[in-house]
């Protein structure tokens, strides 16, 4: 009932899969609540170096929140709890210390866009369709979600996406910076897998530090955690991986990073 969010692990790659095929992978309340635990499972697994999100099947990444629940979950009584569950899910994805990639095919609408925007990288098939139709439903949209959208695409594009509530093609999404790359649908899985493997082969502590630093630089200068930034950089220089990287360079071989 209400779909499911499940995790898989294949080598250094961890997968979060949104599976609600009868509703084009629309996110139910139970699915929103399951996301933080899925993120935690993969984040705590030392074998996982990169997290990839995708929708089950070939029709959609995530087609939005499950509107069939809205009369109850997003009524004046249930809206506050629903928004809290939503915020925890998006926050868990955005704060994951490991790189997160969104593999996007088909519909990426509403809550699907919010989930994709929480990823570090977004790769889309040429059939991908993007929209945030909140203005067609009359619902209030949280400041946190609009902040992330504005940070990724800029104020002007964020206003166009939100005000028009229309669907944008993959090439339009690429032009406004909503996605990193578009590939033919038949090649999307292979492209994302190859990119994720390349990331997984690099030094995990360096990537973790870069992700933390970039996140802090996105904050107001008065709110940045400069101690956390300095600690993350120092950890890299004190690591066995740094010594391994230097040795591998001098010996003209591929490094074998362990994350320590």
The pLDDT value given to residue 78? 63
Confidence of residue 70 (pLDDT cuts 50, 70, 90): low
The predicted model gives 196-212 an average pLDDT of: 97
CB atoms within 10 A of CB 37: 12
**Closest listed residue to residue 228, CA positions, set 240, 217, 241, 239:** 217
pLDDT at residue 144 tops 70? yes
Q: What is the mean pLDDT of the chain?
A: 94
Q: Please provide the CATH number assigned to the domain covering 4-199.
A: 3.90.226.10
pLDDT at residue 247 tops 70? yes
pTM above 0.85, yes or no: yes
pLDDT at residue 28 tops 70? yes
Query: What is the residue extent of each domain of the chain?
Result: 4-199, 202-250
Task: Please name the residues in contact with 250: beta carbons below 8 A apart, sequence gap of 6 or more.
Answer: none
The predicted model gives 64-93 an average pLDDT of: 79
The residue ranking higher by pLDDT, 76 or 192, is 192
Q: Check if the beta carbon of residue 55 is closer than 8 Å to that of residue 105.
A: yes
Q: Indicate the helix (H) or strand (E) that contains 209.
A: helix 204-217
Residue 252 to residue 256: CA distance in whole angstroms? 12
Structure tokens at 205: 């502590």
């Amino acid at each position: 009932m209400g779909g499911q969010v499940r995790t898989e692990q294949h080598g250094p790659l961890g997968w979060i899969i949104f599976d609600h095929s009868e509703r084009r992978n629309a996110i139910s309340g139970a699915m929103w609540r399951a996301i933080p635990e899925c993120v935690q499972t993969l984040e705590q697994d030392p074998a996982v170096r990169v997290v990839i999100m995708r929708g089950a099947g070939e029709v959609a990444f995530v087609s939005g929140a499950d509107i069939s629940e809205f009369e109850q979950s997003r009524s004046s009584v249930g809206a506050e709890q629903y928004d809290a569950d939503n915020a925890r899910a998006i926050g868990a994805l955005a704060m994951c210390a490991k790189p997160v990639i969104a593999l996007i095919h088909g519909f990426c609408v509403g809550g699907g866009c919010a989930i994709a925007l929480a990823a570090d990288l977004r790769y889309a098939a040429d059939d991908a369709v993007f929209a945030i139709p909140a203005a067609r439903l009359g619902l209030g949209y949280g400041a946190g979600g609009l902040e992330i959208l504005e940070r990724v695409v800029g104020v002007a594009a964020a206003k166009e996406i939100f005000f028009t509530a229309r669907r944008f093609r993959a090439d339009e999404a690429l032009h406004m910076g909503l996605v990193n790359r578009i590939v033919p649908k038949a090649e999307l899985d292979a492209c994302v897998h190859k990119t994720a493997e390349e990331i997984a082969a690099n030094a995990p502590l360096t990537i973790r530090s870069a992700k933390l630093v970039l996140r802090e630089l996105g904050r107001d200068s008065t709110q940045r955690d400069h101690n956390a930034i300095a600690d993350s950089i120092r950890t890299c220089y004190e690591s066995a991986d740094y010594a391994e990287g230097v040795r591998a360079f001098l010996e003209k071989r591929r490094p074998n990073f362990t994350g320590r």
